[in-house]
Structure 1
Amino acid sequence: MRKRLGWNVMLLVVLCFSFVMAGCGKKDENAGSSSANALDAIKQRGKLVVGVKYDTKLFGLKDPATNKVEGFDIDIAKQIAKHILGDENKIELKEVTSKTRIQLLQSGDIDMIIATMTITDERKKQVDFSDVYFKAGQSLLVKKGSPITGLDSITKGTKVLAVKGSTSAKNIREKAPDATVLEFENYQDAFNALKAGQGDALTTDNAILLGMQKQDPNYTLVGGNFTDEPYGIAVKKGNSDLLQAVNDTLKELKDNGEYDKLYEQWMGTKPE
């Protein structure tokens, strides 16, 4: 009787282990394979899953009327899907924020991040970055007529708004240590806070601020850029084949002139 009970317990353990492994395998089928053959997994799935912003004008902004997400990052993502799968429509866009994007990549919910993500040495420890696909720099957005004209104007008591998890929040604390930095979940919340008078200036990459300026011309950029913030596309560390496919796409777009067209379409000027 004891022998039979022992076998039953062992069988139960084996079955439980099998179910756990099956669940893990299912996760890998959906997105973000952790192995070096992530590119093959995407091809087998027939769909590229990309983490993008939904709240960043010019780069990734969701239109509530149509539920479509549009912007420069979105168009770059579609070109990568076209390069890998032969069809730019074989893509799924998932919303990420500066705070959640690396976590979603690491958990396998997305294959890559194309979301105004600055390349930094600290982030290189967590992800692998593509070649630079957009050159940006941090700046300040203020209401027209504001006494703030740049970093030198920020004094003790000045409230500067930023986004959680962004390099901008870290940079402003270093470059304007007297400022009071208030952090928000996303760019739209931060901009709404600025318009509501909860802060004196908003800081992030100039390209994002230009989008806000277009939304409301009562606000303007001041002081020029005070950092160099190159954007990269992030994949899981070790996904070398996928990273190569991304870099090949970027090179192809720049060589055939399509990159310049997309840049000018969204930014209103040609890349430098």
Structure 2
Amino acid sequence: MIQHTRRRLVLTATAGVTALTLASCGSDGDVAGTDGTDGAQSGEIELISEGKLTTCTHLPYKPFQFTEGGEIVGFDVDIVDEIAADLGVEQEIIDTPFEGIQSGEDLNTLKCDIAAAGMTITDVREENLDFSDPYFDATQALLVPADSDVTSLEDLSGGKLAVQLATTGEIYAQENAPDDVELVQFEDLALLQTAVQTGQVDAAINDNGVLLDFAAENDDVKVAAEFDTGEQYGLGVRTGNEALLEQVNATLERIREDGTYDEIYERWFGEAPGQS
């Protein structure tokens, strides 16, 4: 069953660095084990702060992670809450730019223990961090104004296409959009979506889950096309952090077997996986 009582505290990136200094004293060998002992020496799972599983994410990315009523909520948040519960700790969330997440920098500098940001598993990213087993299937989609006739990237010839910096949507657009389409970069999803609503761009590309959710709540936009890219999301941990990775995968397996995954999925997407 989903538990919604665990505290979720959001920190800025700067606050995360302070927490790192206090918890790790600047050394990989000083991170705390889940039992409060020195994690590296005891062989226990290593966490940068005692009693907390610190998550790096990039807000907003609704319905995966976003702020509602002063609390960070979403599909990814609920998934990581289950991992934290199995570890006997609380999840703490750091909002930080996506580039530092997908590059592995935030994990390698011990800003966080785990990255959960609707992040597609790619060969390039696997060079910088270790991914969990896949936990969500995704693809790319095209968001346009509700009255637009655009139904493909080819229809955007001579126009402007919004992309989110350092995402697989940006890569797909670079590889597949006509040469005369101007790609306009945005750092976060909300700015990209607003750009379509306000006419700054003719369309935007991003993962289908977030764009379908946005279109369902805003009648001035629509999803005009989806592109079968066969993407899968993974949770990231620092390269070589095998103990934590094993626990992450064990939790993902557990919640799929006991029905918790389907419950979480239905909560955020309106139906269990495979029913659409």
TM-score greater than 0.5 by the shorter chain: yes
What is residue 68 of structure 1 aligned with on the other side? 71
Identity of paired residues, percent?
A: 31
Greater CA deviation, 37-46 or 144-153?
37-46
Unaligned runs of 5+ in 2: 1-23
The residue number in structure 2 matching 1:189 is 191
Write the distance in 2 (CA, Å) between the matches of 1:217 and 1:37: 55
Match of 1:96 in 2: 96
Which runs of no fewer than 5 residues in structure 1 stay unpaired? 1-21
CA contact (8 A) 1:59 1:74 kept: yes
TM value normalised by structure 2: 0.81
Q: 1:158 to 1:253 in 2, by over 3 A?
A: same
- After TM superposition, the score normalised by the length of structure 1 is 0.82
1:41 paired with 2:42, answer no
Task: Report the number of matched residues.
Answer: 244
Residue by residue over 1:29-84, the C-alpha shift from the partner in whole angstroms, topping out at 9 and shown as x without a partner, is 379x9969885333981111011232111110113xx3201100000010000111
* Runs (4+) off by over 6 Å: 33-38
What's the RMSD between the two structures over aligned residues?
2.5
**Superposed displacement of residue 145, structure 1:** 1.8
1:238 corresponds in structure 2 to 240
1:103-142 deviation line (CA, Å, top 9, x unaligned): 2112110001011000000111001100110000001011
How far residue 169 of structure 1 moved from its aligned partner, in angstroms, is: 0.6
CA contact (8 A) 2:140 2:169 kept: yes
- In structure 2, distance between residues paired with 1:219 and 1:253: 35
Larger radius of gyration: 1
Aligned to 1:268: 270
Q: Give the 3 Å change call, closer, same or farther, for CA 97–27 of structure 1 in structure 2.
A: farther
Aligned counterpart for 2:82 among listed residues 68, 71, 79:
79
Q: Which residue does 1:51 correspond to in 2? A: 56
Contact 1:254/1:260 (<8 A) preserved: yes
Distance verdict in 2 for CA 1:26–1:164, change over 3 Å: same
Tell me if structure 1 keeps the 8 A contact 2:143–2:196: no
Q: Distance in 2 between matches of 1:139 and 1:24?
A: 42
The alpha-carbon distance between structure 1 residues 163 and 39, as it changes in their structure 2 partners (threshold 3 A), is farther
Hey, which of these two has a bigger chunk of helix by percent? 1
Is the 8 Å Cα contact of residues 30 and 109 (structure 1) preserved in structure 2?
A: no
Q: Greater share of strand residues, 1 or 2? A: 2
Decide which of 202, 209, 212 is 2:211's aligned counterpart. 209
